[in-house]
Amino acid sequence: MKLIRFGQPGREKPGILLDGQRKDLSAFYRDWDREFFNGDGLSNLKKLVMHSELPDVSADERWGAPVSRPGKVICIGLNYSDHAKESNMPIPEEPIVFQKGANTVVGPYDTVIIPRKSVKTDWEVELGVVIGRDARYLESPEDAIRHIAGYCISHDVSERAFQLERGGQWTKGKSCDHFNPLGPWLLTADEVIDPQQLAMQLSVNGERMQTGHTGTMIFGVHFLVHYLSQFMTLEAGDLISTGTPPGVGLGMNPPRYLRAGDVVELSIDGLGSQRQLCVDAE
C-alpha cells in the first residue's frame, strides 16, 4: 500500500494512493501516527481497503508528508563510502547518528526555505524508513524487519556552514524550517522486496547531481534499526534517514549550493518523486 496525507499544513488528513488516485480515509482514521502503527493499523487498513468504497481526494489538494510529525527524526551520516570520501571524512566504523528537528518534515512539493544568512544550503536524497512498532533492544537485524512500517523519499536538506563551522555539532545545520521534505507516499514494507536494491537520484535545475543506489550503503537498513534500538527506543512513526550517496554540493570543486529560484527534483525506485522550489526565508 501507498500511504499518503493531504490538506493544508497542520490540518492534513490520511489517505492512500490506489491505482494512481488519492483516496480519503479520514472517515476511518485520525492520522498515520504512532497510535495507528502500534495498533496493528496496517493490517486493519488492508482489510478496509479491500471491502470499502473510498472517496477521491481532489486533485488540487496539497500533498502532505505521508506520516504525521514523527516523534524523532534520526539521521545517519556518511553512510555511503563514496560520499564520505567526497566530504574528506573517514569511513565510519560505526554509524554516525544525529537528529534533526521533527518540525523540519514537510510535504514533497513544499518549498525549501534558504535560511537567513545561509551561504551553504545543500541537497541530500535519502531513503527514509518509518518505524511500524516500538522497538527496544532488538536481538538482531533480522528482528528489525517486523518493526518497519515502510519506506519513502527523505530530502535531508543541510546548511553546511551552520553544520560544520558553527560549533562542531550538526543539529544547527540540519534543523532549519522545511529542511526535510518527505514522501510523496510511504510504501509499506511488504511491497519492498529488498530495501538495499533501490536506485536513487537528485537533480538541481534539471542537472543531475546525485546518482546512487542503496546497495552501496555501509550500514544497511535492518542493521541500522537494530543498532539504534540498542541506544534508544524507536517509537512507531519515527523516521530514520539512512544517508546520502555522492554528489552533494559540499563535495564539488568548487562547492555549489542552493539559492532562491533553484528547483530540486529527486526520486527513488518505487517511492515516487519530489520537486521543490527554493525560496529565501522571510
pTM passes above 0.75 = yes
Per-residue pLDDT, 84: 76
The answer to whether residue 169 scores a pLDDT higher than 90 is no
Which segment of 10-24, 47-61, 191-205, 262-276 scores lowest on mean pLDDT?
47-61
Per-residue pLDDT, 85: 74
Residue ranges per structural domain of the chain: 2-63, 67-280
The share of the chain scoring above pLDDT 90, in percent, equals 91
75: confidence class by pLDDT, cuts 50, 70, 90? very high
Average pLDDT, the chain: 95
273: confidence class by pLDDT, cuts 50, 70, 90? very high
HEC assignment per residue over the chain: CEEEEECCCCCCEEEEEECCEEEECCCCCCCCCHHHHHCCHHHHHHHHHHHCCCCECCCCCCEECCCCCCCCEEEEECCEHHHHHHCCCCCCCCCEEEEECHHHEECCCCCEEECCCCCCEECCEEEEEEECCCECCCCCHHHHHHHEEEEEEEECCEEHHHHHCCCCCCHHHHCCCCCEEECCCEEEHHHCCCCCCCEEEEEECCEEEEEEEHHHECCCHHHHHHHHHCCCCECCCCEEECCCCCCCHHHCCCCCCCCCCCEEEEEECCCCEEEEEEEECC
**What average pLDDT does this structure show over 26-51?**
94
User: What pLDDT, in 10s, does the model give residues 76-109?
Assistant: 998 998 777 777 778 889 999 999 999 999 999 9
Q: What class has domain 67-280? A: alpha beta
The share of the chain scoring above pLDDT 70, in percent, equals 100
